[in-house]
Amino acid sequence: MAGLPLVEVMSIGAIMSRCRGWCDLRKGVDLASLIANNDIMISVEIGVYNGQSLLPQAYAHKAKNLGGKAYGIDPWSASEALQDDAIHMAPHWNKWAEQDVNFQALYESTSGLISEFGLQNHCEIIRSKSENALDSFEDDSIGLLHIDGNHDYPKVKKDFDLYYKKVRPGGFIWFDDLYWPGPKRATDEMLATPNLLMSAEEKYSGIDLNLLVRKRLG
Q: Distance between CA atoms of 53 and 31, rounded to whole angstroms?
A: 8
Mean pLDDT for 152-172 is: 98
Using CA atoms, how far residue 38 sits from 31, 62, 64, 124, 172, in Å, is 11, 14, 10, 21, 10
pTM listed for this prediction = 0.96
> Tell me, what's the pLDDT at 126?
98
Q: Is pLDDT of 137 > 80?
A: yes
Task: Render pLDDT for 138-159 as a digit per residue (tens, 0 to 9).
Answer: 999 999 999 999 999 999 999 9
Confidence of residue 2 (pLDDT cuts 50, 70, 90): low
Ordered by start, the domain boundaries in the chain are 6-215
Domain 6-215 has CATH 3.40.30.10: no
Task: Note the pLDDT tens digit of each residue in 83-102.
Answer: 999 888 888 999 999 999 99
User: Per-residue pLDDT tens for 182-207?
Assistant: 999 999 999 999 999 999 999 987 77
* pLDDT confidence tier of residue 209, bands split at 50, 70 and 90: very high
pLDDT at 1 over 70: no
Question: Which residue type does 32 have?
Answer: A
